[in-house]
Chain A
Amino acid sequence: MNWIRLYIRLAGASFRAQMQYKFNFAFSSLMAFGMFGIEFLTVGTVIYKFGGVGGWGVYEVGYLFALMMFNRALYRMFASEINGFEKYLVEGLLDQLLLRPVPVLLVLMTRQFRPMLGELFLGGTILTLSLQQLDAAGQIVWYTALAKSFAAILSGAIFTFSFGVLTATVGFWTHRIDDLRRITDDATTNACYYPLTIYPGWMRMMLLTVLPMGFTSYVPALHIIRGEIGVWVLPATLLFALLLLMGALRFWRFGIAHYQSTGT
Protein backbone atom coordinates (compact mmCIF):
# COMPACT_ATOMS: atom_id res chain seq x y z
CA MET A 1 0.00 0.00 0.00
CA ASN A 2 2.84 2.28 0.96
CA TRP A 3 4.53 1.59 -2.32
CA ILE A 4 1.49 2.56 -4.28
CA ARG A 5 1.36 5.88 -2.45
CA LEU A 6 5.07 6.38 -3.07
CA TYR A 7 4.58 5.49 -6.72
CA ILE A 8 1.85 8.12 -7.08
CA ARG A 9 4.01 10.70 -5.36
CA LEU A 10 7.06 10.04 -7.53
CA ALA A 11 5.10 9.79 -10.74
CA GLY A 12 3.37 13.04 -9.82
CA ALA A 13 6.72 14.74 -9.34
CA SER A 14 7.93 13.47 -12.68
CA PHE A 15 4.75 14.71 -14.30
CA ARG A 16 5.07 18.14 -12.67
CA ALA A 17 8.67 18.35 -13.83
CA GLN A 18 7.56 17.77 -17.40
CA MET A 19 4.85 20.36 -17.02
CA GLN A 20 7.58 22.93 -16.47
CA TYR A 21 7.91 22.79 -20.24
CA LYS A 22 4.22 23.01 -21.05
CA PHE A 23 4.57 23.77 -24.71
CA ASN A 24 6.96 20.91 -25.18
CA PHE A 25 4.70 18.54 -23.30
CA ALA A 26 1.62 19.47 -25.32
CA PHE A 27 3.62 19.34 -28.52
CA SER A 28 5.11 15.93 -27.89
CA SER A 29 1.76 14.49 -26.74
CA LEU A 30 0.17 15.73 -29.94
CA MET A 31 2.98 14.31 -32.04
CA ALA A 32 2.80 10.94 -30.29
CA PHE A 33 -0.94 10.84 -30.88
CA GLY A 34 -0.44 11.72 -34.52
CA MET A 35 2.21 9.05 -34.83
CA PHE A 36 0.01 6.25 -33.48
CA GLY A 37 -2.88 7.54 -35.55
CA ILE A 38 -0.90 7.38 -38.76
CA GLU A 39 0.45 3.96 -37.85
CA PHE A 40 -3.14 2.79 -37.57
CA LEU A 41 -4.08 4.52 -40.80
CA THR A 42 -1.27 2.67 -42.59
CA VAL A 43 -2.32 -0.75 -41.39
CA GLY A 44 -6.01 0.09 -41.68
CA THR A 45 -5.68 1.15 -45.31
CA VAL A 46 -4.26 -2.21 -46.34
CA ILE A 47 -6.64 -4.32 -44.30
CA TYR A 48 -9.65 -2.31 -45.44
CA LYS A 49 -8.70 -2.29 -49.09
CA PHE A 50 -8.10 -6.01 -49.24
CA GLY A 51 -10.90 -7.08 -46.91
CA GLY A 52 -8.84 -8.51 -44.10
CA VAL A 53 -5.75 -10.63 -43.78
CA GLY A 54 -4.97 -14.27 -43.04
CA GLY A 55 -8.66 -15.15 -42.96
CA TRP A 56 -9.42 -12.44 -40.40
CA GLY A 57 -11.84 -9.66 -41.20
CA VAL A 58 -11.24 -5.93 -41.00
CA TYR A 59 -12.74 -5.49 -37.54
CA GLU A 60 -11.09 -8.59 -36.20
CA VAL A 61 -7.69 -7.19 -37.11
CA GLY A 62 -8.82 -3.83 -35.73
CA TYR A 63 -9.50 -5.57 -32.45
CA LEU A 64 -5.98 -7.03 -32.40
CA PHE A 65 -4.57 -3.61 -33.10
CA ALA A 66 -6.59 -2.06 -30.27
CA LEU A 67 -5.36 -4.67 -27.79
CA MET A 68 -1.77 -4.00 -28.83
CA MET A 69 -2.34 -0.26 -28.57
CA PHE A 70 -3.50 -0.63 -24.97
CA ASN A 71 -0.58 -2.89 -24.13
CA ARG A 72 1.90 -0.44 -25.58
CA ALA A 73 0.29 2.58 -23.96
CA LEU A 74 0.19 0.98 -20.52
CA TYR A 75 3.76 -0.23 -20.87
CA ARG A 76 4.97 3.20 -21.96
CA MET A 77 2.97 4.88 -19.22
CA PHE A 78 4.37 2.80 -16.38
CA ALA A 79 7.72 1.84 -17.72
CA SER A 80 8.96 4.23 -20.37
CA GLU A 81 12.37 4.30 -18.68
CA ILE A 82 12.66 0.53 -18.71
CA ASN A 83 12.35 0.92 -22.42
CA GLY A 84 15.07 3.56 -22.36
CA PHE A 85 17.20 1.74 -19.80
CA GLU A 86 20.35 1.89 -21.89
CA LYS A 87 21.08 5.48 -20.93
CA TYR A 88 20.94 4.60 -17.23
CA LEU A 89 23.65 2.02 -17.80
CA VAL A 90 25.80 4.03 -20.16
CA GLU A 91 25.62 7.35 -18.35
CA GLY A 92 25.76 5.81 -14.87
CA LEU A 93 22.41 7.29 -13.82
CA LEU A 94 21.54 4.03 -12.12
CA ASP A 95 23.86 4.76 -9.18
CA GLN A 96 21.49 7.40 -7.85
CA LEU A 97 18.55 5.02 -7.93
CA LEU A 98 20.48 2.37 -6.05
CA LEU A 99 20.99 4.74 -3.12
CA ARG A 100 17.30 4.80 -2.25
CA PRO A 101 15.63 2.58 0.32
CA VAL A 102 13.09 1.59 -2.32
CA PRO A 103 13.21 -1.11 -5.03
CA VAL A 104 15.12 0.23 -8.03
CA LEU A 105 12.47 -0.91 -10.46
CA LEU A 106 9.84 1.13 -8.64
CA VAL A 107 11.83 4.36 -8.88
CA LEU A 108 12.67 3.59 -12.49
CA MET A 109 8.98 3.13 -13.28
CA THR A 110 8.14 6.59 -12.02
CA ARG A 111 10.63 8.39 -14.20
CA GLN A 112 9.21 10.18 -17.23
CA PHE A 113 5.66 9.28 -16.30
CA ARG A 114 3.31 10.11 -19.17
CA PRO A 115 -0.46 9.74 -19.01
CA MET A 116 -0.61 8.58 -22.66
CA LEU A 117 -4.16 9.88 -22.92
CA GLY A 118 -4.06 10.23 -26.70
CA GLU A 119 -3.03 6.63 -27.19
CA LEU A 120 -5.62 5.33 -24.75
CA PHE A 121 -8.28 7.38 -26.50
CA LEU A 122 -7.25 6.07 -29.89
CA GLY A 123 -7.14 2.49 -28.59
CA GLY A 124 -10.56 2.97 -26.99
CA THR A 125 -12.06 4.28 -30.20
CA ILE A 126 -10.77 1.40 -32.29
CA LEU A 127 -11.84 -1.12 -29.64
CA THR A 128 -15.35 0.33 -29.46
CA LEU A 129 -15.71 0.40 -33.22
CA SER A 130 -14.46 -3.17 -33.65
CA LEU A 131 -16.63 -4.61 -30.88
CA GLN A 132 -19.68 -2.75 -32.17
CA GLN A 133 -19.26 -4.07 -35.69
CA LEU A 134 -18.54 -7.61 -34.55
CA ASP A 135 -21.59 -7.46 -32.27
CA ALA A 136 -23.76 -6.25 -35.12
CA ALA A 137 -22.52 -9.15 -37.20
CA GLY A 138 -23.69 -11.46 -34.42
CA GLN A 139 -20.19 -12.79 -33.87
CA ILE A 140 -19.91 -11.68 -30.23
CA VAL A 141 -21.91 -10.12 -27.42
CA TRP A 142 -20.25 -6.81 -26.88
CA TYR A 143 -20.36 -6.54 -23.07
CA THR A 144 -18.90 -9.98 -22.33
CA ALA A 145 -16.27 -9.36 -24.99
CA LEU A 146 -15.44 -6.00 -23.43
CA ALA A 147 -15.07 -7.53 -19.96
CA LYS A 148 -12.84 -10.25 -21.37
CA SER A 149 -10.83 -7.63 -23.23
CA PHE A 150 -9.89 -5.99 -19.93
CA ALA A 151 -8.52 -9.32 -18.72
CA ALA A 152 -6.61 -9.71 -21.98
CA ILE A 153 -5.17 -6.19 -21.74
CA LEU A 154 -4.11 -6.80 -18.14
CA SER A 155 -2.17 -9.94 -19.00
CA GLY A 156 -0.90 -8.34 -22.20
CA ALA A 157 0.52 -5.38 -20.31
CA ILE A 158 2.16 -7.72 -17.80
CA PHE A 159 3.68 -9.67 -20.70
CA THR A 160 5.02 -6.55 -22.35
CA PHE A 161 6.36 -5.24 -19.06
CA SER A 162 8.09 -8.53 -18.24
CA PHE A 163 9.65 -8.56 -21.66
CA GLY A 164 10.89 -5.03 -21.16
CA VAL A 165 12.43 -5.97 -17.83
CA LEU A 166 14.06 -9.11 -19.24
CA THR A 167 15.59 -7.14 -22.09
CA ALA A 168 16.75 -4.34 -19.80
CA THR A 169 18.39 -6.86 -17.45
CA VAL A 170 20.57 -8.20 -20.24
CA GLY A 171 22.06 -4.71 -20.26
CA PHE A 172 23.77 -5.37 -16.92
CA TRP A 173 26.17 -7.55 -18.85
CA THR A 174 26.17 -6.05 -22.33
CA HIS A 175 25.57 -2.34 -21.47
CA ARG A 176 23.95 -1.90 -24.87
CA ILE A 177 20.36 -3.08 -25.21
CA ASP A 178 18.75 -0.82 -27.79
CA ASP A 179 19.68 -3.16 -30.61
CA LEU A 180 18.51 -6.24 -28.74
CA ARG A 181 15.24 -4.47 -28.04
CA ARG A 182 14.64 -4.15 -31.74
CA ILE A 183 14.15 -7.91 -31.84
CA THR A 184 12.42 -8.58 -28.51
CA ASP A 185 10.22 -5.52 -28.75
CA ASP A 186 9.97 -3.80 -32.14
CA ALA A 187 9.96 -6.90 -34.30
CA THR A 188 7.58 -8.89 -32.12
CA THR A 189 5.21 -5.96 -31.64
CA ASN A 190 5.06 -5.38 -35.36
CA ALA A 191 4.32 -9.05 -35.87
CA CYS A 192 1.55 -9.16 -33.27
CA TYR A 193 -0.55 -6.41 -34.80
CA TYR A 194 -1.79 -9.13 -37.16
CA PRO A 195 -3.23 -12.62 -36.78
CA LEU A 196 -0.38 -15.09 -36.48
CA THR A 197 -2.00 -17.19 -39.22
CA ILE A 198 -0.24 -15.09 -41.85
CA TYR A 199 3.20 -16.28 -40.75
CA PRO A 200 4.92 -19.53 -41.62
CA GLY A 201 4.82 -22.24 -38.96
CA TRP A 202 8.28 -21.70 -37.49
CA MET A 203 7.61 -18.02 -36.90
CA ARG A 204 4.22 -18.63 -35.34
CA MET A 205 5.85 -21.22 -33.11
CA MET A 206 8.48 -18.72 -32.05
CA LEU A 207 5.93 -16.06 -31.17
CA LEU A 208 4.19 -18.56 -28.91
CA THR A 209 7.28 -20.01 -27.25
CA VAL A 210 10.66 -18.28 -27.33
CA LEU A 211 9.27 -14.74 -27.68
CA PRO A 212 5.70 -15.41 -26.54
CA MET A 213 4.31 -12.00 -27.47
CA GLY A 214 1.58 -13.83 -29.37
CA PHE A 215 -0.17 -14.16 -26.01
CA THR A 216 -0.65 -10.41 -25.78
CA SER A 217 -3.18 -10.17 -28.59
CA TYR A 218 -3.59 -13.16 -30.87
CA VAL A 219 -4.24 -15.90 -28.31
CA PRO A 220 -6.86 -14.03 -26.26
CA ALA A 221 -8.52 -12.78 -29.45
CA LEU A 222 -8.86 -16.36 -30.65
CA HIS A 223 -11.27 -16.87 -27.78
CA ILE A 224 -12.84 -13.45 -27.38
CA ILE A 225 -13.82 -12.67 -30.93
CA ARG A 226 -13.31 -15.89 -32.85
CA GLY A 227 -14.46 -18.41 -30.24
CA GLU A 228 -11.92 -20.91 -31.54
CA ILE A 229 -10.72 -21.87 -28.06
CA GLY A 230 -12.43 -22.00 -24.69
CA VAL A 231 -12.58 -19.35 -22.02
CA TRP A 232 -9.91 -21.22 -20.06
CA VAL A 233 -7.36 -19.50 -22.25
CA LEU A 234 -7.82 -16.18 -20.42
CA PRO A 235 -6.85 -17.34 -16.91
CA ALA A 236 -4.15 -19.51 -18.46
CA THR A 237 -2.69 -16.49 -20.25
CA LEU A 238 -2.80 -14.44 -17.08
CA LEU A 239 -1.07 -17.22 -15.18
CA PHE A 240 1.60 -17.44 -17.86
CA ALA A 241 2.03 -13.66 -17.71
CA LEU A 242 2.45 -13.71 -13.94
CA LEU A 243 4.97 -16.54 -14.14
CA LEU A 244 6.92 -14.61 -16.72
CA LEU A 245 6.77 -11.52 -14.51
CA MET A 246 8.12 -13.45 -11.54
CA GLY A 247 10.91 -14.86 -13.68
CA ALA A 248 11.71 -11.40 -15.02
CA LEU A 249 11.87 -9.86 -11.55
CA ARG A 250 14.11 -12.65 -10.34
CA PHE A 251 16.40 -12.21 -13.32
CA TRP A 252 16.44 -8.46 -12.67
CA ARG A 253 17.60 -8.96 -9.08
CA PHE A 254 20.28 -11.33 -10.30
CA GLY A 255 21.33 -8.77 -12.89
CA ILE A 256 21.66 -5.92 -10.41
CA ALA A 257 24.21 -7.95 -8.47
CA HIS A 258 26.30 -7.95 -11.64
CA TYR A 259 26.00 -4.26 -12.26
CA GLN A 260 29.30 -2.64 -13.19
CA SER A 261 28.90 1.04 -12.64
CA THR A 262 30.68 3.39 -15.02
CA GLY A 263 33.92 4.90 -13.79
CA THR A 264 34.23 8.52 -12.74
Chain B
Amino acid sequence: MIIVSNVSKTFKIPIAKEGRFKGIRTLFSREYRAVQAVRHLQMRIEPGEFVGYIGPNGAGKSTTIKMLSGILHPTSGEILIGGANPQRQREQVVRKLGVVFGQRTQLWWDLPVSDSFDILASMYKLDARTYNEQMRTLTGVLGLDEFIDTPVRKLSLGQRMRGDLAAALLHNPDILFLDEPTIGLDVVAKKQIRAYLKHLNTEWGKTILLTTHDIDDIEQLCSRVIVINHGQSIYDGSLDTLRDRIGLPSIMKIAFNGIIEPPAEEELASLPFTITERRDQILTITCNRNEVTAMTVLRHVSEWGDVQDVHMEEPDFEDVIHRIY
Protein backbone atom coordinates (compact mmCIF):
# COMPACT_ATOMS: atom_id res chain seq x y z
CA MET B 1 0.00 0.00 0.00
CA ILE B 2 1.22 3.47 -0.88
CA ILE B 3 0.21 6.42 1.26
CA VAL B 4 1.16 9.93 0.29
CA SER B 5 0.09 12.47 2.87
CA ASN B 6 0.28 16.15 2.20
CA VAL B 7 3.56 15.99 0.30
CA SER B 8 5.13 19.13 -1.18
CA LYS B 9 8.40 19.57 -2.97
CA THR B 10 10.03 22.94 -3.49
CA PHE B 11 13.13 23.35 -5.61
CA LYS B 12 15.44 26.22 -4.87
CA ILE B 13 16.86 27.93 -7.90
CA PRO B 14 19.42 30.69 -7.39
CA ILE B 15 18.40 34.03 -8.86
CA ALA B 16 20.80 35.33 -11.46
CA LYS B 17 21.81 38.92 -10.79
CA GLU B 18 21.53 41.59 -13.39
CA GLY B 19 23.81 44.50 -14.08
CA ARG B 20 27.47 45.01 -13.53
CA PHE B 21 29.58 42.19 -12.07
CA LYS B 22 26.50 40.00 -12.22
CA GLY B 23 28.65 36.90 -12.54
CA ILE B 24 30.44 37.50 -9.29
CA ARG B 25 27.34 38.70 -7.50
CA THR B 26 25.39 35.61 -8.51
CA LEU B 27 28.19 33.48 -7.16
CA PHE B 28 27.94 35.00 -3.71
CA SER B 29 24.24 35.71 -3.60
CA ARG B 30 22.00 33.75 -1.31
CA GLU B 31 18.77 34.66 -2.99
CA TYR B 32 16.72 31.86 -4.37
CA ARG B 33 13.54 31.53 -6.30
CA ALA B 34 11.36 28.76 -4.94
CA VAL B 35 9.68 26.56 -7.52
CA GLN B 36 6.91 24.38 -6.20
CA ALA B 37 7.02 21.19 -8.21
CA VAL B 38 4.47 19.36 -6.08
CA ARG B 39 1.94 20.88 -3.70
CA HIS B 40 0.02 19.17 -0.92
CA LEU B 41 -0.27 15.90 -2.73
CA GLN B 42 -2.59 13.30 -1.19
CA MET B 43 -2.77 9.81 -2.58
CA ARG B 44 -3.56 6.35 -1.40
CA ILE B 45 -3.00 3.35 -3.64
CA GLU B 46 -4.25 -0.08 -2.57
CA PRO B 47 -2.48 -3.33 -3.45
CA GLY B 48 -3.35 -4.62 -6.91
CA GLU B 49 -4.46 -1.30 -8.34
CA PHE B 50 -3.36 -0.13 -11.78
CA VAL B 51 -3.17 3.65 -11.60
CA GLY B 52 -2.51 5.98 -14.48
CA TYR B 53 -0.74 9.16 -13.46
CA ILE B 54 -1.14 11.80 -16.12
CA GLY B 55 -0.62 15.47 -16.70
CA PRO B 56 1.24 17.76 -19.07
CA ASN B 57 5.03 18.13 -19.12
CA GLY B 58 6.34 19.84 -16.03
CA ALA B 59 3.22 19.06 -14.02
CA GLY B 60 5.21 17.22 -11.34
CA LYS B 61 4.77 13.61 -12.44
CA SER B 62 8.43 12.67 -12.46
CA THR B 63 9.08 14.54 -9.24
CA THR B 64 6.34 12.48 -7.58
CA ILE B 65 7.75 9.20 -8.87
CA LYS B 66 11.22 10.19 -7.76
CA MET B 67 9.93 11.00 -4.28
CA LEU B 68 8.01 7.75 -4.10
CA SER B 69 11.11 5.78 -4.99
CA GLY B 70 13.34 7.60 -2.52
CA ILE B 71 15.46 9.52 -5.00
CA LEU B 72 14.19 12.91 -3.87
CA HIS B 73 13.28 14.02 -0.38
CA PRO B 74 9.95 15.85 0.01
CA THR B 75 10.14 19.35 1.46
CA SER B 76 7.18 18.54 3.69
CA GLY B 77 4.69 15.76 4.18
CA GLU B 78 5.31 12.06 4.38
CA ILE B 79 5.32 9.04 2.11
CA LEU B 80 4.81 5.48 3.30
CA ILE B 81 5.30 2.46 1.11
CA GLY B 82 4.27 -0.76 2.79
CA GLY B 83 4.58 1.10 6.08
CA ALA B 84 8.17 2.26 5.48
CA ASN B 85 9.53 5.66 4.55
CA PRO B 86 11.37 5.58 1.21
CA GLN B 87 13.75 8.33 2.28
CA ARG B 88 14.72 7.18 5.74
CA GLN B 89 14.62 3.45 4.92
CA ARG B 90 15.67 3.76 1.30
CA GLU B 91 17.52 0.47 0.94
CA GLN B 92 14.67 -1.45 2.57
CA VAL B 93 11.94 0.21 0.47
CA VAL B 94 13.62 -0.11 -2.92
CA ARG B 95 13.71 -3.88 -2.44
CA LYS B 96 9.93 -3.85 -2.75
CA LEU B 97 9.93 -1.57 -5.77
CA GLY B 98 10.51 -2.09 -9.43
CA VAL B 99 11.11 1.14 -11.32
CA VAL B 100 11.38 1.71 -15.06
CA PHE B 101 12.31 5.06 -16.56
CA GLY B 102 11.36 4.81 -20.22
CA GLN B 103 13.98 7.30 -21.33
CA ARG B 104 16.86 5.58 -19.59
CA THR B 105 17.94 2.01 -19.32
CA GLN B 106 19.12 0.41 -16.11
CA LEU B 107 20.83 -2.41 -17.96
CA TRP B 108 24.59 -2.48 -18.40
CA TRP B 109 24.96 -0.88 -21.79
CA ASP B 110 27.98 -2.76 -23.13
CA LEU B 111 27.27 -6.21 -21.69
CA PRO B 112 24.90 -8.97 -22.81
CA VAL B 113 21.45 -8.73 -21.23
CA SER B 114 22.01 -11.86 -19.12
CA ASP B 115 24.98 -10.23 -17.37
CA SER B 116 22.77 -7.41 -16.15
CA PHE B 117 20.45 -9.94 -14.56
CA ASP B 118 23.35 -11.72 -12.88
CA ILE B 119 24.54 -8.46 -11.40
CA LEU B 120 21.08 -7.40 -10.25
CA ALA B 121 20.51 -10.83 -8.67
CA SER B 122 23.58 -10.40 -6.51
CA MET B 123 22.67 -6.82 -5.72
CA TYR B 124 19.26 -7.89 -4.46
CA LYS B 125 20.82 -10.96 -2.80
CA LEU B 126 18.64 -13.51 -4.60
CA ASP B 127 19.64 -17.11 -3.96
CA ALA B 128 20.35 -19.27 -6.99
CA ARG B 129 17.04 -21.16 -6.88
CA THR B 130 14.83 -18.07 -6.65
CA TYR B 131 16.87 -16.39 -9.34
CA ASN B 132 16.55 -19.27 -11.78
CA GLU B 133 12.86 -19.66 -11.12
CA GLN B 134 12.25 -15.96 -11.59
CA MET B 135 14.29 -15.95 -14.79
CA ARG B 136 12.28 -18.85 -16.16
CA THR B 137 8.98 -17.12 -15.47
CA LEU B 138 10.13 -13.79 -16.89
CA THR B 139 11.59 -15.41 -19.98
CA GLY B 140 8.27 -17.11 -20.58
CA VAL B 141 6.22 -13.95 -20.19
CA LEU B 142 8.51 -11.35 -21.76
CA GLY B 143 10.12 -13.57 -24.42
CA LEU B 144 13.62 -12.74 -23.29
CA ASP B 145 15.40 -15.65 -24.95
CA GLU B 146 15.43 -14.02 -28.35
CA PHE B 147 17.92 -11.41 -27.16
CA ILE B 148 19.31 -12.58 -23.81
CA ASP B 149 22.87 -12.94 -25.14
CA THR B 150 22.91 -9.69 -27.13
CA PRO B 151 24.72 -6.65 -25.75
CA VAL B 152 22.19 -4.08 -24.61
CA ARG B 153 23.45 -1.41 -26.98
CA LYS B 154 22.41 -3.58 -29.92
CA LEU B 155 18.79 -4.15 -28.81
CA SER B 156 15.81 -2.56 -30.49
CA LEU B 157 13.87 -0.11 -28.36
CA GLY B 158 11.05 -2.62 -27.82
CA GLN B 159 13.46 -5.37 -26.78
CA ARG B 160 15.29 -3.00 -24.49
CA MET B 161 12.02 -2.08 -22.79
CA ARG B 162 11.21 -5.75 -22.25
CA GLY B 163 14.70 -6.20 -20.80
CA ASP B 164 14.20 -3.21 -18.52
CA LEU B 165 10.84 -4.52 -17.36
CA ALA B 166 12.41 -7.89 -16.58
CA ALA B 167 15.22 -6.14 -14.69
CA ALA B 168 12.67 -4.24 -12.63
CA LEU B 169 10.76 -7.44 -11.89
CA LEU B 170 13.69 -9.72 -11.13
CA HIS B 171 13.56 -9.27 -7.36
CA ASN B 172 9.80 -9.84 -7.51
CA PRO B 173 8.66 -6.47 -6.16
CA ASP B 174 5.02 -5.90 -5.25
CA ILE B 175 4.98 -2.39 -6.61
CA LEU B 176 5.99 -1.09 -10.02
CA PHE B 177 6.59 2.53 -10.97
CA LEU B 178 6.69 2.96 -14.72
CA ASP B 179 7.68 6.35 -16.09
CA GLU B 180 6.63 6.50 -19.75
CA PRO B 181 7.40 2.87 -20.57
CA THR B 182 5.94 3.10 -24.08
CA ILE B 183 7.73 6.26 -25.16
CA GLY B 184 9.21 6.05 -28.64
CA LEU B 185 7.93 2.53 -29.34
CA ASP B 186 6.16 1.61 -32.57
CA VAL B 187 2.56 0.43 -32.57
CA VAL B 188 3.38 -3.28 -32.45
CA ALA B 189 5.85 -2.93 -29.60
CA LYS B 190 3.42 -0.71 -27.69
CA LYS B 191 0.73 -3.36 -27.95
CA GLN B 192 3.13 -6.00 -26.76
CA ILE B 193 4.27 -3.99 -23.75
CA ARG B 194 0.65 -3.23 -22.83
CA ALA B 195 -0.20 -6.93 -22.92
CA TYR B 196 2.71 -7.66 -20.57
CA LEU B 197 1.69 -4.92 -18.19
CA LYS B 198 -1.90 -6.17 -18.14
CA HIS B 199 -0.58 -9.64 -17.35
CA LEU B 200 1.58 -8.35 -14.49
CA ASN B 201 -1.39 -6.62 -12.93
CA THR B 202 -4.17 -9.16 -13.38
CA GLU B 203 -2.24 -12.44 -13.12
CA TRP B 204 0.50 -11.55 -10.67
CA GLY B 205 -1.38 -8.90 -8.73
CA LYS B 206 1.33 -6.22 -8.99
CA THR B 207 0.43 -2.71 -7.94
CA ILE B 208 1.34 -0.43 -10.82
CA LEU B 209 1.68 3.33 -11.08
CA LEU B 210 2.11 4.38 -14.68
CA THR B 211 2.87 7.78 -16.12
CA THR B 212 2.37 8.24 -19.83
CA HIS B 213 1.50 10.71 -22.53
CA ASP B 214 -0.28 8.03 -24.51
CA ILE B 215 -3.98 8.03 -23.70
CA ASP B 216 -4.36 4.54 -25.20
CA ASP B 217 -2.13 3.21 -22.43
CA ILE B 218 -4.50 4.65 -19.87
CA GLU B 219 -7.61 3.53 -21.68
CA GLN B 220 -6.51 -0.07 -22.03
CA LEU B 221 -4.78 -0.58 -18.72
CA CYS B 222 -5.79 1.68 -15.88
CA SER B 223 -8.70 1.19 -13.56
CA ARG B 224 -8.00 4.53 -11.97
CA VAL B 225 -6.58 7.83 -13.16
CA ILE B 226 -4.89 10.58 -11.19
CA VAL B 227 -4.45 13.87 -13.02
CA ILE B 228 -1.82 16.33 -11.88
CA ASN B 229 -1.23 19.85 -13.11
CA HIS B 230 0.94 22.63 -11.68
CA GLY B 231 1.99 20.22 -8.95
CA GLN B 232 -1.50 19.63 -7.67
CA SER B 233 -3.69 16.60 -7.97
CA ILE B 234 -6.81 17.80 -9.77
CA TYR B 235 -8.64 14.59 -10.42
CA ASP B 236 -8.67 11.12 -8.92
CA GLY B 237 -11.14 8.53 -10.16
CA SER B 238 -12.11 6.40 -13.14
CA LEU B 239 -11.35 7.36 -16.71
CA ASP B 240 -15.06 7.33 -17.63
CA THR B 241 -15.95 9.84 -14.96
CA LEU B 242 -13.08 12.04 -16.11
CA ARG B 243 -14.44 11.85 -19.65
CA ASP B 244 -17.88 12.89 -18.45
CA ARG B 245 -16.40 15.78 -16.57
CA ILE B 246 -14.44 17.29 -19.40
CA GLY B 247 -16.84 16.21 -22.13
CA LEU B 248 -15.70 15.20 -25.57
CA PRO B 249 -15.03 18.26 -27.62
CA SER B 250 -14.78 17.13 -31.23
CA ILE B 251 -14.24 18.77 -34.58
CA MET B 252 -16.09 17.59 -37.72
CA LYS B 253 -15.05 18.60 -41.20
CA ILE B 254 -17.82 18.05 -43.74
CA ALA B 255 -17.27 18.31 -47.47
CA PHE B 256 -20.24 18.90 -49.83
CA ASN B 257 -20.95 18.28 -53.50
CA GLY B 258 -22.38 21.38 -55.06
CA ILE B 259 -24.06 24.24 -53.21
CA ILE B 260 -24.41 24.48 -49.44
CA GLU B 261 -27.56 26.11 -48.13
CA PRO B 262 -27.25 26.62 -44.39
CA PRO B 263 -30.30 27.98 -42.58
CA ALA B 264 -30.68 31.51 -41.24
CA GLU B 265 -28.72 32.87 -38.31
CA GLU B 266 -31.37 32.45 -35.63
CA GLU B 267 -32.01 28.86 -36.55
CA LEU B 268 -28.30 28.13 -36.50
CA ALA B 269 -28.03 29.51 -32.99
CA SER B 270 -30.57 26.99 -31.75
CA LEU B 271 -28.63 24.03 -33.04
CA PRO B 272 -26.56 21.93 -30.53
CA PHE B 273 -23.32 22.62 -32.45
CA THR B 274 -21.52 25.58 -33.97
CA ILE B 275 -20.01 26.30 -37.37
CA THR B 276 -16.50 27.61 -36.80
CA GLU B 277 -15.33 27.88 -40.37
CA ARG B 278 -16.77 27.81 -43.86
CA ARG B 279 -14.42 27.60 -46.79
CA ASP B 280 -15.42 26.71 -50.32
CA GLN B 281 -17.37 23.53 -49.92
CA ILE B 282 -16.06 22.50 -46.52
CA LEU B 283 -17.77 23.25 -43.22
CA THR B 284 -15.88 22.96 -39.93
CA ILE B 285 -18.16 22.19 -36.99
CA THR B 286 -17.32 21.88 -33.30
CA CYS B 287 -19.54 20.02 -30.91
CA ASN B 288 -19.42 18.30 -27.58
CA ARG B 289 -20.26 14.68 -28.14
CA ASN B 290 -21.54 14.34 -24.62
CA GLU B 291 -24.44 16.58 -25.65
CA VAL B 292 -24.91 15.60 -29.25
CA THR B 293 -24.02 12.51 -31.26
CA ALA B 294 -22.18 12.68 -34.53
CA MET B 295 -25.23 11.16 -36.23
CA THR B 296 -27.47 14.02 -35.08
CA VAL B 297 -25.00 16.53 -36.44
CA LEU B 298 -24.91 14.69 -39.74
CA ARG B 299 -28.71 14.50 -39.96
CA HIS B 300 -28.97 18.27 -39.59
CA VAL B 301 -26.17 18.98 -41.99
CA SER B 302 -27.36 16.63 -44.74
CA GLU B 303 -30.46 18.83 -45.13
CA TRP B 304 -28.22 21.69 -46.31
CA GLY B 305 -26.77 19.94 -49.33
CA ASP B 306 -25.23 16.81 -50.74
CA VAL B 307 -22.66 15.52 -48.19
CA GLN B 308 -19.67 14.00 -49.89
CA ASP B 309 -17.24 13.21 -47.06
CA VAL B 310 -17.00 13.49 -43.27
CA HIS B 311 -13.82 13.76 -41.27
CA MET B 312 -13.77 13.65 -37.47
CA GLU B 313 -10.98 14.87 -35.21
CA GLU B 314 -10.71 14.08 -31.55
CA PRO B 315 -8.53 16.56 -29.74
CA ASP B 316 -5.48 15.46 -27.82
CA PHE B 317 -6.58 14.33 -24.39
CA GLU B 318 -3.72 16.03 -22.60
CA ASP B 319 -4.37 19.18 -24.50
CA VAL B 320 -7.93 19.19 -23.18
CA ILE B 321 -6.78 18.57 -19.64
CA HIS B 322 -4.31 21.38 -19.93
CA ARG B 323 -6.98 23.73 -21.21
CA ILE B 324 -9.65 22.85 -18.72
CA TYR B 325 -7.67 22.98 -15.50
Contact = CB atoms under 8 A, between A and B. Distances in A.
Interface of A: 2, 5-6, 9-10, 13, 16-18, 20-21, 94-96, 98-103, 257-261, 263-264
A95 B71 contact: yes
B73 A257 contact: yes
Given A17-B110, A264-B103, A99 B69 contact: yes
Nearest to B105: A96
B279 interface: no
B25 interface: no
B111 A16 contact: yes
A102 B125 CA distance: 10
Interface string B101-123: 10110101111000100110011
Given A17-B110, A257-B87, A260-B72, A101 B58 contact: no
Nearest to A10: B119
Contact of A263 (B62, B101, B119): B62
B68 to A, nearest CB: 11
B99 interface: yes
- The CB with the most chain A CB atoms within 10 A, among B11, B103, B106, B123, is that of B123
Given A96-B104, A100-B123, A261-B72, A13 B62 contact: no
Interface stretch (B90-98, B184-192, B224-232): B90-98
Given A5-B122, A261-B72, 15 more contacts: A6-B122, A9-B119, A10-B123, A16-B115, A17-B109, A20-B110, A96-B106, A98-B70, A100-B123, A101-B94, A103-B91, A258-B73, A264-B57, A264-B62, A264-B179
A98 B101 contact: no
Contacts of A6: 122-123
Interface string B34-64: 0000000000000000000000011000110
Interface residues of B, number: 37
B101 A95 contact: yes
Contact of A101 (B91, B115, B179): B91
Contact of B106 (A99, A257, A260): A99
Contacts of A16: 111, 115
B71 A261 contact: yes
B31 to A, nearest CB: 15
A182 B11 CA distance: 28
Contacts of B101: 95-96
A94 B99 CA distance: 14
B205 interface: no
B11 A260 contact: yes
Contacts of A10: 119, 123
Contacts of A261: 62-63, 66, 71-72
B249 interface: no
B304 interface: no
B71 A98 contact: yes
Contact of B111 (A9, A13, A98, A260): A13
A17 B118 CA distance: 14
A101 B95 contact: yes
Contacts of B111: 13, 16-17, 20
A9 B95 CA distance: 19
B151 interface: yes
Contacts of A258: 73
A259 B71 contact: yes
Contact of A99 (B58, B94, B110, B115): B94
Nearest to B12: A260
A241 to B, nearest CB: 27
A175 B141 CA distance: 41
B204 interface: no
Interface in B263-289: none
Nearest to B96: A101
B196 interface: no
A103 B72 CA distance: 15
A100 B97 CA distance: 10
Nearest to A91: B104
A100 B120 CA distance: 9
Given A20-B110, A20-B151, A102-B91, A2 B125 contact: yes
Which 7 A-B residue pairings sit nearest by Cβ, starting from the closest?
Answer: A17-B110, A98-B71, A264-B62, A20-B110, A101-B91, A101-B95, A101-B94
A228 B251 CA distance: 90
B108 A17 contact: yes
A103 B57 CA distance: 31
- The CB with the most chain B CB atoms within 10 A, among A9, A17, A21, A95, is that of A95
B325 interface: no
Contacts of B151: 20
A95 B62 CA distance: 11
B72 A259 contact: yes
